[in-house]
Chain A
Amino acid sequence: MNQETQVLDHIVCPFCGCLCDDIRLEVKGNQITSNELGCAISKAKFLSHHEDRITPTIRKNGTHVEVSLNEAIERAVEILAAAKRPLVYGLSSTENDAHREAYKIAETTGGVVDNTSSVCHGPTILGVQESGEAAGSLAEVKHRADTVIYWGSNPQFAHPRHISRYVRVEGEYIKDPKADRRIWVFDIRKTITANMADEFVKIAPGKDLELIGALRARVRGHPLEVDEVAGLSMKQLTEIVEALKATKYGILFFGLGLTQSTGRHRNIDAAIRLVQDLNSFGKWNMMPMRGHFNVAGANKTSTWQTGYPFAVDYARGYPRYQPGEYTSVDVLSRGEADAMLNIAADPAAHFPRQAVKHMATIPVINIDPKRNMTSLIAEVNIPAALAGIECDGAAARMDGLPLYLKKVIDPPDGVLPDRDVLRMIHDKLKKVVG
């Protein structure tokens, strides 16, 4: 093995929806020894990739027993072949080729396939289906935006380089990012991002929809006969409206504080309408702050292959879409799924109690590089290579830009990419269920 240190440039970081593609890595032998330019999370992801790995296991008499990869796959096929209503879930932390195999499995077994957006930006998609979306791009923000809003989003924690790469940086037509560009934070508490913003607007919890509605009314010139909205005085409201209307190029970044708080998709629908209305004054776009590095890709692959972005049911031999019915949490909470194939996600850690309770009663096949809550309750664990570190693939940035993830080092012995594991499962399934 080559023991000399190799320097790799322009590496794409497979952690969050920013997909920063300027990472410089040093690799010695089969180990990553340094990550330059990456944020703290990126450093941890690359430098600790070999820690907490899982191995193939099958649960026997209540304990996890180590088995060969083939045995684990055989068991997974048995479970899926016997299932009447399998649920295929996850996909947002793996690359696009793996998604294709997952949809095939859902179609072959007549199951439901869903990705993690059903518990993050699913409401965003519902809002878009109601009203459309003036979708932004990060390049345009960098070069043109004079007003940047973060609403219900704390990028300094969740997307640490978002501001330094795209916002507090010189652009072609924004020469001084401090003087020519104003950052606004709308949130229910003063976050670390709010501390560095030019303006912070503190919203009463659960009042986002009310505030967006009021802003929209004022932007359209309708009077409001109230003293305050969402904890803001009318004077504050007027100041905000004037700033929005005076903007030449505005961008609304929004996070789970808007999608998953009271109102959910109604919040997004209202925000979309506000941004559409603002296009009568200046140029305005918006962008969801996507969390997992390829959750945007999961929506895209699902859309071109099934027609729908998430919550897809193949029970009738063709894809049907019904969020609230075929979304994973609902399928589990109703006690409907009788087996679950989880790929590159940790539903046991993130789903509501009722859904996790049902997961504990059905066989769960878990494909993931690392130990997590789901691996603890899984019937079958199958290890996978880390996409973007140990295998290549494609992913989509939060603004939809596709980027190619490189393979930097080899995965542990015998560990395959998600797509290969899923293909093996599907090939065997085809023989059993046709």
Chain B
Amino acid sequence: MTGNIILKNARVYDPTNKIDGEIMDISMSDGKIVDRFEGKAREIDVKGRVVMAGGVDMHSHIVGSKLGFGRSMCPEDHRKDPVPKTKATRGGVGYTMPNSYVIGYRYSAMGYTTAIEPALPALKGLGSWEELEDVPNLDSGLLPLFCNSMITFNYVKEKDISGLAGYIAWILRKVGGLGVKVVCPGGTYAWAHGSNIRELDTEVPDWGITPREIIRGLCQATEALGLPHMMHLHPLNLGRVGNVKTTIEHLDAIKDIKGHNGRKHICHLTHMSFETLAMHEDEKAKPDWKWVSSGGLEFAEYVNKNDHFTVDMGQITFGPATTMTGDGPFQYTLYQMTKNKWANICVDVEMPGGAGVVPYYFDPKSPANAVQWTIPLEFALSVNDVWRVIMTTDHPNAGPFTKYPLVISWLMSKKQRDTWMEKLHKFATERSTLKDIDREWNLYEIAISTRAAPAKIMGLPNKGHLGVGADADVTVYDLDPNKVNLADDPERIIKVFGQSYLTFMRGQQVAKKGIVGKTPHGKVWSVHAELNDSLWNRINKELEDMMNRWYAHSFHNYPVPERYREHMEKAILVDSTGVAA
């Protein structure tokens, strides 16, 4: 086990424990934060530098078949960013889709210690576990997709919430998943027919059910089970001008669902920048890109009035990105628009449907991209409760995670936003209120949005904070906030958050000044929802029948074998025996 370490004179930002820049000592022993320990300790005087819990990225595509497809399809991407091996680290490639090792190293060098893969096609779970074996320096977790599976549809059609809950519990246990992901519910299934669904009440082909019933069913089942993480939602109608309306309709549709044990939040809406496009007010306006405007403010007002969900940004960062989603029809539309190369992967979303991958370049001179850039910033700077706003880039969709320091600089510095706005197409100022927003996030708010809140939303109580008993994932940033006004010095923000001064993972120092020195393997968090015997037996029987009928491989070969999991998996036990059979 790791030895004792004490960080002296740390300026601590730990919002979970309401610590806002106090000077204190942080002690680590045996991989945990402790208040005291026995024996000797390595003392590190950090001299008033900023100390936070290790960063938690709750939405980043770090493993899985669509990422593999993107990597394989785009060698030109990696070529620009070779990463030589060192004594401590393997060689690899970087850029928008780093290889698995480099993903771990680069997060670690920035002070992140946890990253969640938010789109697992459950039937390809084995492949993702194999990949996680090669992602060092990070704790992780996988969110299986449930939204376009015929098994989900079957239970929704039967109005059988217990059956749906049983199916979710079975999948989470058998493939090692952490929560429920929903992508373009019903729309991706329609893609097997070459079509899409954009409205909540359009019937899903072959099934006679609607996306409204699907999201309500999955949300109810998630709450019935009491899963730590709420339904993680990518709604219909992604990337369409005026879709802020559709997104609000989704959230209204589940508003009445009671949270488990009275919890407030029953949904996490992901990468809002793609889902809150408004339409410019003009009598000629139509839902095409010419008429796009920011829906960030409108959506912030909705968030401020409605308390049943949380949001991550999916901030566009300009430059190259690789779009990859389980939203096959959207990816096809993007391909038709850009004529870039296009991959479709149809086994990805259970049986039918299709993920897609399209490389994309976010261009500052593009009117649409300029407006898209303003949306999440306008939103984040207008929301009252920062605990509900998570900083992400939906890596690598809106840009790689290595652009986080830049995003932080936009959030913390009006000066930086103004500088960038000058470089952008004029729509950035004409079709958004961002230029009029003076708010600047402080370090406490950054700590909320990049570690405390995402850990809480993901249901990982040992992550994202520095209280006694937390995992000793700790980041020291090379900054004494008393000596510099960050808002006036955006380049400094980028530097500080680009390379941590020190990163500790479970009490072990893994990186120093951006150089990775140790490469321990993190844990993969999953949920084991215990069902009562009669529901468990019923589900096994029904799933055997449905999987053998609808899949092209056996029910018996569906689970990810223990040998690929047991040395990494950390299952959170949930008592769901109360769900009726």
- B71–A303 contact, CB under 8 A? yes
> From residue A272, how far is it (CB to closest CB) to chain B in Å?
9
Chain B min CB distance to A206 (Å): 27
Q: Find out whether the CB atom of A107 lies under 8 angstroms from the CB atom of B91.
A: yes
> Is A85 an interface residue, CB under 8 A from the partner?
no
A394 touches B92 (CB 8 A): no
Q: Which of the segments B19-27, B340-348, B398-406, B528-536 contacts the partner chain? A: B340-348
Instruction: State whether B127 touches A300 (Cβ < 8 A).
Output: yes
Return the contact of A318 from the options B82, B124, B126, B344 (Cβ within 8 A). B82
Q: Is B65 an interface residue (CB 8 A)?
A: yes
Contacts of B379 in A (CB 8 A): none
B575 to chain A, nearest CB (A): 30
B540-556 interface mask toward A, CB cutoff 8 Å, 1 = contact, 0 = none? 00000000011111101
Residues of chain B from 62 to 78 with CB closer than 8 A to chain A in the complex: 63, 65, 67-69, 71-76, 78
Q: Are the C-beta atoms of B73 and A129 separated by less than 8 Å?
A: yes
- Are A402 and B126 in contact, with the CB atoms below 8 A? yes
- Which chain B residue shows the least CB distance to A103? B90
Q: Is the CB of B126 within 8 A of A404?
A: yes
Tell me the smallest distance from the CB of A180 to a CB of chain B, in Å: 15
**Of B90, B99, B124, which one neighbours A401 at CB under 8 angstroms?**
B124
Contact of B347 among A134, A137, A173, A319 (CB under 8 A): A137
By a CB distance below 8 angstroms, the chain A residues around B191 are 283
Nearest CB in chain B to that of A131: its residue: B341
Known: A107-B90, A107-B91, A132-B343. A304 touches B100 (CB 8 A): yes
Shortest A121–chain B CB gap in Å is 12
- B73, A12: Cβ atoms closer than 8 Å: no
Selected interface stretch from A307-315, A364-372, A377-385: A307-315
**Closest residue of chain B to A306, judged by CB?**
B99
Interface residues of A in 296-348 (CB under 8 A from B): 299-301, 303-309, 314, 316-321
Please count how many residues in chain A sit with their CB below 8 Å of the partner chain's CB atoms.
63
B384 to chain A minimum Cβ distance, whole angstroms, is 41
Residue A130 CB within 8 A of the other chain: yes
Q: Are B73 and A133 within 8 A (Cβ)?
A: yes
Asked if A22 and B345 sit within 8 Å, CB to CB, the answer is no
Q: Quick check: which of B288-296, B369-377, B519-527, B557-565 contacts chain A, the rest being far away?
A: B557-565
Taking a contact as CB atoms closer than 8 A, the residue among B63, B133, B192 that contacts A140 in the complex is B192
Determine whether A403 belongs to the interface, using a CB cutoff of 8 Å to chain B. Answer: yes
With A129-B74, A402-B126: A143-B550 Cβ-Cβ less than 8 Å: yes
B84 on interface, CB distance cutoff 8 Å: yes
Which B residues fall within an 8 A CB radius of A? 63, 65, 67-69, 71-76, 78-79, 82-85, 90-93, 97-101, 123-127, 130-131, 133-134, 150, 191-194, 206, 332, 335, 340-347, 351-352, 357-358, 549-554, 556-557, 560-561, 563-564
CB closest residue in chain B, given A278: B194
Contacts of B85 in A (CB 8 A): 107, 317-318
Q: A140-B192, A283-B193, A394-B126 are in contact. Are A319 and B92 (CB under 8 A)?
A: yes
A-B interface contact total, Cβ < 8 Å? 191
Nearest chain-A residue to B85 (Cβ)? Answer: A317
* Interface check A136, CB cutoff 8 A: yes
Q: Which of A96, A307, A317, A401 contacts B553 (CB 8 A)?
A: A401
A283-B557 in contact (CB<8A): no
A208 to B374, CA, bound (A): 49
A13 to chain B, nearest CB (A): 12
Inter-chain CA distance A357–B212, complex, in Å, is 66
Judge if A144 is at the interface, Cβ distance under 8 Å. Answer: yes
Cβ–Cβ contact B206 & A307, under 8 A: no
B557 touches which of A21, A142, A300 (Cβ 8 Å): A21
Instruction: Contact check, A317 vs B99: say whether CB atoms are below 8 A apart.
Output: no
Chain B contacts for A131, CB-based, 8 A: 341-342
Question: How many Å from the CB of B540 to the closest CB on chain A?
Answer: 15
A321-B79, A404-B561 as given contacts; A396 in contact with B127, CB under 8 Å: yes
Contact B127 A128 (CB under 8 A): no
Q: Does A74 sit within 8 A of B, measured CB to CB? A: no
Taking the nearest CB of chain B, how far is it from the CB of A223, in angstroms?
23
Given the complex, which residues of B lie within 8 Å of A96, measured CB to CB?
130
Bound form: Cα–Cα A306–B98 in Å:
9
A130 and B76 alpha carbons, distance in the complex (Å): 10
Which residues of A, 354-411, contact B by the 8 Å Cβ criterion? 392, 394, 396-397, 399-404
In the bound complex, how far is the Cα of B345 from the Cα of A163, in angstroms? 21
Is the CB–CB distance between A399 and B92 below 8 Å?
A: no
- Contact indicator A307/B93 (Cβ below 8 Å): yes
Interface string of A208-251 (1 = CB under 8 A from B): 00000000000000000000000000000000000000001100
Please, which residue of chain B has its CB at the minimum distance from the CB of A130? B341
B45 → chain A closest CB, angstroms: 35
Most chain B CB within 10 A, of A10, A125, A300, A309, is at: A300
Shortest C-beta distance, A58 to chain B (Å), equals 31
Decide yes or no whether A260 CB sits under 8 A from chain B.
no
Chain B residue nearest in CB terms to A299? B72
On chain A, the residues within 8 Å of B124 by CB distance are: 400-402
The answer on a CB contact under 8 Å between B347 and A401 is: yes
A304 touches B557 (CB 8 A): no
**Contacts of B133 on A, CB cut-off 8 Å?**
100
**Inter-chain contact A399/B347, CB cutoff 8 Å:** yes
Complex contacts, B99 vs chain A, CB 8 Å: 303-307, 319
- Do residues B343 and A133 form an inter-chain contact, with CB atoms below 8 A? yes
Distance between B413 CB and nearest chain A CB, rounded to angstroms: 34
In the bound complex, CA of A134 to CA of B67 (Å): 15
A279 touches B91 (CB 8 A): no
Closest CB of chain A to B3's CB: distance in Å?
Answer: 26
- Chain B nearest CB from A170 CB (Å) reads 10
Q: Which of A172, A173, A303, A308 contacts B549 (CB 8 A)?
A: A172
Complex: how many Å from CA A300 to CA B345? 14
Question: Which of B130, B194, B563 is in CB contact (< 8 Å) with A283?
Answer: B194
CB-CB < 8 A to A136: which residues of B? 346-347
Interface contact B552-A135, CB-CB below 8 Å: no
From B335, B346, B557, A12 is in contact (CB under 8 Å) with B557
Q: In the complex, are the beta carbons of B557 and A403 less than 8 A apart? A: yes
Whether A305 contacts B134 in the complex (CB less than 8 A), given A132-B342, A133-B73, A317-B91, comes out as yes
In the assembled complex, how far is the CB of residue A349 from the closest CB belonging to chain B, in whole angstroms?
Answer: 27
Chain B residues, Cβ within 8 Å of A100: 133-134
Choice from B71, B130, B150 contacting A307 with Cβ under 8 Å = B71
